[in-house]
Amino acid sequence: MPTTIPNETDIIVGIPSFNNARTIGHVVRAAVAGLQKYFPQFRSVIINSDGGSTDSTREVVLNTPAEDAGILFLPTPLFPLHRLSMPYHGIPGKGSAFRMIFRMAQQMRARGCVLLDADLRSVTPEWIDMLLRPVLFGRYDFVAPYYRRHKYDGTITNSIVYPLTRALYGKRVRQPIGGDFGVSMRLVERYLKRDDWETDVARYGIDIWMTTIALAEGYQVCQSFLGAKIHDAKDPGADLSAMLQQVVGSVFTLMREYADTWQRVQGSQDVEIFGFRFEVGLEPVPVNVRRMLNHFEQACHDLKDVWALALRPGTLSEILKLRPSAAEASPQFHIPDELWARTIYEFAQASRERGVERGQLLRSLTPLYMARVASFVLETESVNSADVEEKIESLCLTFENLKPYLTELWTGKAAAAAQPAGTPATEKLEVKPHD
């Protein structure tokens, strides 16, 4: 397998990594097979951008055999497939890895770029086709993944990022921080011109940063169905605070930049999904509800003064009233959708106004997020995946219905009471065009 850097290529497959020796070999094999099967006529390079792994990640990338590709697929590649593994420099994190991949794609004048997480166990050769074909042949700039996931996998997405991003920018991109994307060179060039690579974007904020720019600036966006996402999922009750702060912090920062855009958007619209959708088997994700409620109960005592910097008195009062049922781990513990949407909107506004306390505010959101996830788990323990999607859809509609309240907060005109949650979102499903 050639390891020299070619002067030009057509396709880049980028795989950021950090200590992923156990799983990255499978990702590399799937990428090689996908490129040989679906794009044999194109010059391709697989780039592993590594964050200083201390295991054998880089060696696995370079030495993973791919001989089976020639047996499985009839097309004979017209060009050699290059495979590179190199460390990146800068702030440690996924975003810095992406930046190096984008720079190399620019240097090699690529036509399209695919990005894959290194911990994937369900990736197949078809993922390369589904993420890249809309870019090369459909004139799309950004291809987001559309997965089947366990109901307790992706809780940051389901409880905050998807409903908030959908309400802000009016597009139903189901996995805005999915981790696996197809990107046109037109959009890659736009990413590289920005000057915020030294922020949370360099870490976990990169996925939502990429998605938001594509949506807010009017690039052509679609989704591709990829089947199951099976990866090294974490218990939502575990310490996800750094990820939560970086992802949500990036959303809030971009809200300031694109305020003129999202304030003109009403309701939401479907985003085209390519691929045949089918049901898949999923691995269960363990959830420790008691642990999450313990965090919330303690935070009601320790963080109520910090929450008061972000939350309106009525919202804070409703939150604190939940403490007794949390202490008892009561099955009746429940955070209503409207209360949760108001909480996120008020935190977004406070993050904008209180620059000095911003980090503290974002950290204080973690136990509230855990409480919301615990509420969701208690509500859906015996519910199937289709019903769970309905509940997430209901939450998204609540965010959309309460968006006028966010606008009032943002412009300093917030009324004492928010718009009733029962206002039908279908009455305002118009998305006004961007300038």
What pLDDT digit, counting tens, does each position of 354-405 carry?
Answer: 765 788 999 999 999 999 999 999 999 888 888 999 999 999 999 999 999 9
Q: Taking a C-beta distance cutoff of 8 angstroms, is the pair 254, 212 a contact?
A: yes
- Determine how many CB atoms are found less than 10 A away from the CB of residue 356: 7
Domains of the chain by range and CATH? 11-268 (3.90.550.10), 289-417 (no CATH)
At 16 the three-state DSSP class reads strand
Q: Taking a C-beta distance cutoff of 8 angstroms, is the pair 91, 196 a contact?
A: no
What residues have CB less than 8 Å from 393, skipping those under 6 apart? Answer: none
At 336 the three-state DSSP class reads coil
Tokens representing 411?
């412009």
The whole-number pLDDT of residue 12 equals 96
* 260/279 Cα distance (integer angstroms): 40
Rg (CA), the chain: 22
At 208 the three-state DSSP class reads helix
The whole-number pLDDT of residue 421 equals 41
Q: Taking a C-beta distance cutoff of 8 angstroms, is the pair 138, 224 a contact?
A: no
Is the pTM above the cut of 0.85?
yes
The whole-number pLDDT of residue 42 equals 95
* 97/105 Cα distance (integer angstroms): 13
What HEC string does 75-100 produce? CCCCCCCEEEEEECCCCCCHHHHHHH
pLDDT along the chain (435 residues), means of 10: 73 92 93 95 93 88 67 48 76 86 95 95 95 96 94 93 98 96 98 93 91 98 93 63 91 96 97 87 81 93 95 97 78 92 97 81 95 94 88 98 97 57 39 37
Q: In the 8-state DSSP scheme, what is residue 331? A: T
Q: How far is CA 53 from CA 82, 113, 119, 319, 387, in A?
A: 21, 23, 13, 42, 41
Is 78 buried (19+), middle (13-18) or exposed (0-12) by CB count in 10 A? exposed
The whole-number pLDDT of residue 33 equals 94
